Structure 1
């Protein structure tokens, strides 16, 4: 709930700041245009409802930021998190003066806060002008970083990031230019004493210096209060740490036999950062992503407190098995635990939504397809490297599109071969029929590719396919950045060897009878063979399909 309230209040404040900056941008036309915009701005934010929402958002957001700083056991943040935090803590001390002189003057002295009154302090004192320009950039950058941290976990964000980036540059630029142009117009008014005095009377400006001094004194009091609150929060952190030292210690064993012992009360992610162990965390420990997830075991593993509703929701979304928790949300009591990070330290936003049941390692019935180009070595010997890469990329694109259109997952490209897996998110019967459909689509795609490459090749490309279904271990495997979702086991090996059988029998596709039985499919129109498959004690029943493109488009 605190994270959600912080997000909602932050979005509310960002909307307020955006409308505020767009109002400033109208200064590009004239002060009168900015005044017209200010009328609309005031109608939205200066009514009782708008004022209440804005005040509640400010207090909630600032209070939750202080609470977040207080409850963090260690302030080990990324560079961008430090920038966001530092900018956020500067907003109120810098912006309260502007707030008191504009909104405070309106509420206390009845000043009509037309746009000229906003410009008046900046023209009278250049330091105020520099501070306001700086405030615009500070508030905007802080808000954009926060929005980026939130939105980058959304799968659609990457498609629109260029538009967001353009808006992030354009809005403050227009605001700063609008204020600069309006200041030049206001400076001309200041040169005309009669016009200036007439405006002062129209705005009901404070009549004397004492009224201005009272507003400045109020501003100083509010700024001092904010600074004291920040100082108290920072001072309270060592006291809390001292108190938690009395609770006992947590002993963790990381992979490769590394042991650490730290006071109880820290989250597992904080412990990793304290001792300098790299640990993935895209959302910065806010419990929004799943990249910090770990598998927890050990003699005291069952003593962990249950997952919160927010953590449980994330774990359910990725289908985490028993024993997997979010490191940023798990604060183990004193005891001994074995901790194994599930993702490499360099995991990024692309890994956030990748997690599912199969990613952690499960056994399930899948269909596996292997495809391999025939005699491509002899074709490539007579061509330039650029031509080979061009042809292979066209081939891989056609094969990948065919597999995905059938509902499969392209596991890997091996030389001029392709491995595809079906059934990661479907039942076994559907997976078997999807594999047959993929074989048909691949054959058709190869025919189209050969038509496209007519004149490029001495002879058309030919392919061999083998598909088989059965149990396999499915999970994310690899090392470092080479981690990917794949399948291993006898089913995979058999499918690979059936692709070789297709070459021996002079056909395009070999389908195991086991796959046909699982899919409830019959291929009576194609010849049956009992073949020997390396690694199997008994001969295996298969169907040999001369041309896979002749397979039915659907299976009843």
Structure 2
């Protein structure tokens, strides 16, 4: 809840800043239009509801930022996080005098805090005030953009919109500063007239010296209060650590060589960071991205607290099993646990998107298809490398489209061969029928490819397809960015052996009777064989189909 409050208070403040900067941009037109735009701006944010929302968001965002600082166990931040914190802390000394000189001056002394008053005071005050005032929107804007980027980069649509958002992030502050600079120049030129500034300040109802000194005193008090709260949050951290050590210790084994012991009360992610163990966390430990997820084992795993509703929602989104938790949300009680991070430390926002439930590993009944070009070595002899690559890519595109059209998943290309999986999200009967449909589509696609490339091929391409169905281990396997969902086991090996048997039987397709029975398909005219499969104890019944394209379309 605190994370959501901090995020939504940030959204409110960012919207306020956007409208304020767009109002500044009207200075490019004229001072009159700039002031007219301020009246519209004040009608939204100057009414009791707008003021309550705005200052409430400011207070909530500031206090929750201090709470976040207090709760952090290690100040090992990324460069962008450091930049956001430094920019956020800089807003207070830059912005307090502006807020006090406009909003509080208007409330206490009935000052007309419009652009004439602000710009006139900048002209009268000289360059120090101008630099401070023009630095404020830049600091606020950069702080907000960094926060918005961290909040939105986990959304699937964000990458597509990023160029437009990046353009707006540059255009809005540039137009705002340009508008303010033009307006300031116009006021500075008008100030050359004798008595202009005096008249301007009289219309703005500028307070007297004693009242101005009181406003500066209020601004200093607010700055010192903010500084005291910041120092207090930092100073309270070691006291918190001493208190939590009384609860016992947690020992985490990351592998045979790395074991970390820390006081109870820390999250698994915090323990990793304190120990200097690289750990993925795209969202910075806010429980949004799931990239910090870990598998928890060990004798004391039954003592772990249940997942919070927010953590459970993220885990359900990625289809995580019961022994997988978010490292940034799990506070293990005293005990001994074994932790296995499931994503590499360099994982990015792409890995945080929705993933298939099979990624974590499990047994599932699937259909597996292997296909291979017959005699491709002979066909490729004498051809230029460019021609070989072009031919293979045409073949891979044709077969890949056939597999996807049938409802399967293209697993991998092996040389001139293809492996496809069916049934990751379907029932066994549907998976088996899809595999047969894919074989038919692949054969027909190959016929079309041979016709299209008849002038470039001495002999037509021929294909061999093997299909089998059964239980297999399905999960995300590989390393780093080469990891993908695939299947291993006897079913996969058998399908590969059946593809090789197409040479022996001189046919396009060899399919197991197991798959046909599960699909509810009768190939009575196709020859039946009892074959031996290396690694299997019993013989396997298969059907040999001369032309896979002659199979009836599967509905």
TM range (shorter): over 0.9
Determine the structure 1 residue equivalent to 2:64.
64
Determine the structure 1 residue equivalent to 2:485.
485
Determine the structure 1 residue equivalent to 2:185.
184
Contact 2:297/2:339 (8 A) holds in 1: yes
**Which stretch shows the higher mean deviation, 241-250 or 264-273?**
241-250
Compute the TM-score of the two structures, normalised by the length of structure 2: 0.94
Structure 2 counterparts to residues 428-467 of structure 1, below 5 A:
428-467=428-467
**Counterparts of 2:166 and 2:86 in 1: how far apart (Å)?**
22
How far residue 543 of structure 1 moved from its aligned partner, in angstroms, is 2.9
SS in 1 for 2:73: coil
**Counterparts of 1:33 and 1:300 in 2: how far apart (Å)?**
68
Contact 2:423/2:430 (8 A) holds in 1: yes
How far residue 525 of structure 1 moved from its aligned partner, in angstroms, is 5.3
Partner deviation per Cα, 1:409-456 (whole Å, 9 max, x = no partner): 222221122211111122112211222232233334334444444544
Determine the structure 2 residue equivalent to 1:146.
147
Whether 1:84 aligns to 2:84 is yes
In structure 2, relative to structure 1, the CA distance for the partners of 1:402 and 1:141 (3 Å cut) is: farther
Runs of at least 5 residues in structure 2 that lack an aligned partner in the other structure:
none
Whether 1:108 aligns to 2:108 is yes
**Which stretch shows the higher mean deviation, 530-539 or 223-232?**
530-539
**Which stretch shows the higher mean deviation, 152-161 or 399-408?**
399-408
Determine the structure 1 residue equivalent to 2:168.
167
In structure 2, relative to structure 1, the CA distance for the partners of 1:186 and 1:437 (3 Å cut) is: farther
In structure 2, relative to structure 1, the CA distance for the partners of 1:390 and 1:141 (3 Å cut) is: farther
How far residue 239 of structure 1 moved from its aligned partner, in angstroms, is 0.9
Q: What do you get for the CA RMSD once the two structures are aligned?
A: 2.1
**Counterparts of 1:450 and 1:167 in 2: how far apart (Å)?**
51
How far residue 470 of structure 1 moved from its aligned partner, in angstroms, is 0.6
In structure 2, relative to structure 1, the CA distance for the partners of 1:438 and 1:167 (3 Å cut) is: farther
How far residue 473 of structure 1 moved from its aligned partner, in angstroms, is 0.3
**Counterparts of 1:365 and 1:75 in 2: how far apart (Å)?**
48
Partner deviation per Cα, 1:323-358 (whole Å, 9 max, x = no partner): 211111111122211111122222222211354431
Structure 2 counterparts to residues 116-135 of structure 1, below 5 A:
116-124=116-124, 125-135=126-136
**Counterparts of 2:40 and 2:456 in 1: how far apart (Å)?**
66
**Which stretch shows the higher mean deviation, 408-417 or 204-213?**
204-213
**Counterparts of 1:456 and 1:219 in 2: how far apart (Å)?**
82
How far residue 488 of structure 1 moved from its aligned partner, in angstroms, is 0.4
Determine the structure 2 residue equivalent to 1:553.
553
Contact 1:294/1:327 (8 A) holds in 2: yes
Partner deviation per Cα, 1:145-167 (whole Å, 9 max, x = no partner): 22221222112222222222222
In structure 2, relative to structure 1, the CA distance for the partners of 1:337 and 1:538 (3 Å cut) is: closer
Determine the structure 2 residue equivalent to 1:340.
340
Contact 1:93/1:226 (8 A) holds in 2: no
**Counterparts of 1:521 and 1:236 in 2: how far apart (Å)?**
72
Contact 1:374/1:461 (8 A) holds in 2: yes
In structure 2, relative to structure 1, the CA distance for the partners of 1:61 and 1:500 (3 Å cut) is: same
Structure 2 counterparts to residues 30-49 of structure 1, below 5 A:
30-49=30-49
How far residue 264 of structure 1 moved from its aligned partner, in angstroms, is 1.7
How far residue 2 of structure 1 moved from its aligned partner, in angstroms, is 1.0
In structure 2, relative to structure 1, the CA distance for the partners of 1:374 and 1:35 (3 Å cut) is: farther
**Counterparts of 2:233 and 2:82 in 1: how far apart (Å)?**
17
Contact 2:120/2:201 (8 A) holds in 1: no
How far residue 198 of structure 1 moved from its aligned partner, in angstroms, is 3.7
Determine the structure 1 residue equivalent to 2:351.
351
Partner deviation per Cα, 1:238-276 (whole Å, 9 max, x = no partner): 111121222222111112332221222211111111111
Runs of at least 5 residues in structure 1 that lack an aligned partner in the other structure:
none
**Counterparts of 2:406 and 2:28 in 1: how far apart (Å)?**
55
Q: How many residues in Structure 1 have an aligned counterpart in Structure 2?
A: 554
SS in 1 for 2:5: helix
Determine the structure 1 residue equivalent to 2:534.
534
Partner deviation per Cα, 1:475-534 (whole Å, 9 max, x = no partner): 112233332211100111111111112233233222222112222233345444433333
SS in 2 for 1:338: strand
SS in 2 for 1:255: coil
Partner deviation per Cα, 1:44-96 (whole Å, 9 max, x = no partner): 11111111111111111111111111111112222212222222222223211
Determine the structure 2 residue equivalent to 1:155.
156
**Which stretch shows the higher mean deviation, 382-391 or 77-86?**
382-391
In structure 2, relative to structure 1, the CA distance for the partners of 1:225 and 1:509 (3 Å cut) is: same
Structure 2 counterparts to residues 370-389 of structure 1, below 5 A:
370-389=370-389
Contact 2:73/2:274 (8 A) holds in 1: no
Structure 2 counterparts to residues 123-522 of structure 1, below 5 A:
123-124=123-124, 125-202=126-203, 204-522=204-522
**Counterparts of 2:42 and 2:3 in 1: how far apart (Å)?**
30
SS in 2 for 1:325: strand
Contact 2:117/2:200 (8 A) holds in 1: no
Partner deviation per Cα, 1:114-145 (whole Å, 9 max, x = no partner): 32333233333322222233222221222122
**Counterparts of 1:537 and 1:456 in 2: how far apart (Å)?**
46
SS in 1 for 2:113: coil
**Counterparts of 1:276 and 1:284 in 2: how far apart (Å)?**
15
**Which stretch shows the higher mean deviation, 208-217 or 427-436?**
208-217
Compute the TM-score of the two structures, normalised by the length of structure 1: 0.94
**Counterparts of 1:121 and 1:402 in 2: how far apart (Å)?**
72
**Which stretch shows the higher mean deviation, 160-169 or 440-449?**
440-449
**Counterparts of 2:122 and 2:102 in 1: how far apart (Å)?**
12
**Counterparts of 1:16 and 1:160 in 2: how far apart (Å)?**
22
